[in-house]
Amino acid sequence: MAAARGAALSRPTILLLQQHHRSLHQVPAVGGGLLRVGAGRRRVRAAGVRVRARYSSSSPSQAQPQDFPSRLQDRAGELPKLVEDLLQTSISTGPRGAFRMAQGIQAVLGVGGEWLNDFSKTANTSAGIPAQMRLGLLSPLYLRRLFERMGATYIKLGQFIASAPTFFPAEYVEEFQNCFDRAPAVPYSEIESILREELQRPLDSVYEYIDPVPIASASIAQVHAARLKSSQKDVVIKVLKPGIEDTLVADLNFIYVVARVLEFLNPELERTSLVAIIKDIKESMLEEVDFRKEAVNIEAFQRYLEAMGFDRQAKAPFVYQHCSTKRVLTLERLYGVPLTDLDSIRSLVPDPELTLVTALNVWFGSLISCESFHADVHAGNLWLLRDGRVGFIDFGIVGRISPRTWAAMEIFLASFATEDYNAMASALSEMGATGTDIDVDSFARDLQKIFSSIQELDTEIIVATARGSDATAVSANVVVDERQMNALFLDLVRVSESYGLKFPREFALLMKQLLYFDRYTRLLAPSMNMLRDERINITTNQQTRRMD
């Protein structure tokens, strides 16, 4: 749960987002410097090119100035549709809407109080009001706090913002990294009631025992260790936290209504596709609270492992369907260590490098030969198992890759492998669909800077935090990992954006996984070049083996 669940954005949204980014207006360079990004309108400076991005798809000459009442009059015909839409939404929200509204008001008052307090402390100082407070509750810090108080949906939205540097201003992306922190555990008594309700049987007829202390607790689900009664097999039970679906429905409907009204009042916003994007996020988040989807993803991956003969080298947990539902997922318990725990890995296998080669081959193979690929390969989700196999867990986020993106990725990987940054810059600009005249040399220099900073990443941090078998150490590792990855990715996006390049979202998702693998390579096989090593197969000749 700690990572972006926006992965399932549909093609229309990706297209809309791309379209919405196409409205970049380049202005002459005013020199290099740091990036500045503001909400709604971005101004980016980097190495000789300054780009202004406006969220508008029409050319300035097309816009006819109109006063507010006349604009509304023009849209009077759309009013019945808006009313109907809002009514339907409020019916589907039901009484939980009023309850959430009360909770929302409480949260706004709470964070508003914090802001006022901080404001009064700083207002009288000589330094004046810090920039991060000037937007009130819309400032990144207070908005993040508000999201946390509002609970699961907003924490998820926060995680989405934190993982989508292509769409949101950098200050928000950075602040919302905090949304990846662990959530408080739900008392076991509540988890037990959900299990009873879902399985419709006495729990002791299904499980020999369930450990009341959770292995992990995140914003949406909680995981408990257990043993099956019938087979005496060790399992883990992933349980959706209580009230999560209601909260999601009420919150997402609320966000939709606000967007719909805003769009009606301000037709300019229509061009930003706000409503379409929110609709899409809503659908993908609602999918996430259906564990049957995760079960489908796991089973697709298992079929892929078998079909490709990878099942002796890698595995995903078996799904126990007889005790799995929409809100409960009972999985075979895997025993292993995260791929970043070098000491433990050395004690399990003689050659950690081979483990990495396997993980890479299995994952690269799944990009083109499986229905979907695992799109959250952080260290907490990629293990070396006691039997020497590589274990993949948590299939809540998966991606699907189009042939077009794969073609682009191949060009990119080839230049990445040879560290030919000029070729990479040209390839990216060619596939970036910008058509603007960019300075390929300086773009190449910026790309080189980013990739050197990836190499300088301190892998010691990962080892230190991942050492130790307790869950806290592993979670700390996951958080550090996630933050660093997003920070790096943000850099890449910043440079690319400053040259007017836009990555398709699936490409961005792939890149992020590659950055994870790059870190694992530095740790487990420092002398290996993962894109050049002949043991690793990332070429298109696998495309013919696609199974779907």
Ligand X SMILES: Nc1ncnc2c1ncn2[C@@H]1O[C@H](COP(=O)(O)OP(=O)(O)OP(=O)(O)O)[C@@H](O)[C@H]1O
What is the contact surface with ligand X in residues (CB under 6 A)? Answer: 1-2, 215-216, 218, 221, 223, 236, 238, 317, 331-334, 380-381, 393-394, 396, 478
CB of 472 to ligand X, least distance (A): 11
Q: How far is the CB of 225 from ligand X (least distance, A)?
A: 8
Residue in 224, 132, 148 with CA at minimum distance from that of residue 180: 148
Distance in angstroms (rounded) separating the CA atoms of residues 128 and 143: 21
First-to-final CA distance of the chain: 27
Q: Which CB atom, from 51 or from 157, has the smaller least distance to ligand X? A: 157
Contact 14, 506 (CB under 8 A): yes
**Distance, C-alpha 515 to centroid of its chain:** 14
Annotated catalytic residue 481: no
Residues 6+ apart with CB under 8 A from 152: 183, 219, 220, 241, 244, 247, 248
Q: Which residue, 174 or 288, is less far from ligand X as judged by CB?
A: 288
Full DSSP string of 95-145: THHHHHHHHHHHHHHHHHHHHHHHHHHHHTSTT-S-GGGTTGGGSHHHHHH
Rounded to a whole number of angstroms, the minimum distance from the CB of residue 516 to ligand X is: 12
Q: How far is Cα 249 from Cα 79, in angstroms, rounded to an integer?
A: 24
Cα gap 320→317, rounded to integer Å = 9
**Residue with smaller CB distance to ligand X, 278 or 509:** 509
Q: Tell me how far apart the alpha carbons of residues 18 and 5 are, in angstroms, rounded to a whole number.
A: 19
Would you say 253 or 381 has its CB closer to ligand X?
381
Q: How far is CA 159 from CA 10, 126, 152, 178, in A?
A: 18, 36, 10, 8
Quote the least distance from Cβ 376 to ligand X, whole Å: 6
Q: Which is nearer to ligand X, 397 or 492 (CB)?
A: 397
Closer CB to ligand X, residue 20 or residue 238?
238
Q: How far apart are CA 217 and CA 152, in angstroms?
A: 12
* HSE of 352, CA atoms in CB hemisphere, 13 A: 21
- For 241, the 3-state DSSP assignment is coil
Provide, rounded to whole angstroms, the least separation between the CB of residue 373 and ligand X.
16
Which of 251, 280, 376, 491 is the catalytic position? 376
Q: Which is nearer to ligand X, 22 or 233 (CB)?
A: 233
CA–CA dist 495, 489 (Å, integer): 10
> Hey, what's the torsion of the CAs at 213, 214, 215, 220, to 10 degrees?
-170
Nearer to ligand X, 257 or 316 (CB): 316
CA distance 362 to 144: 37
For residue 261, what are its two tokens? Answer: 């009204």
Shortest gap between Cβ of 203 and ligand X (angstroms)? Answer: 19
Q: Are 319 and 298 in contact (CB under 8 A)?
A: yes
Taking the least distance from each CB to ligand X, the nearer of 85 and 290 is 290
Smallest separation (angstroms) from ligand X to the CB of 411: 31
Q: How far is the CB of 397 from ligand X (least distance, A)?
A: 8
| CA quadruple 526, 515, 452, 432: dihedral, nearest 10 | 140
| Cα–Cα distances in angstroms (integers) from residue 460 to residues 456, 457, 480, 515, 523, in the given order | 11, 9, 12, 16, 8
For the bound state, the minimum distance from the C-beta of residue 103 to ligand X, rounded and expressed in Å, comes to 23
Q: Report the amino acid identity of residue 134.
A: R
**What residues act catalytically?**
376
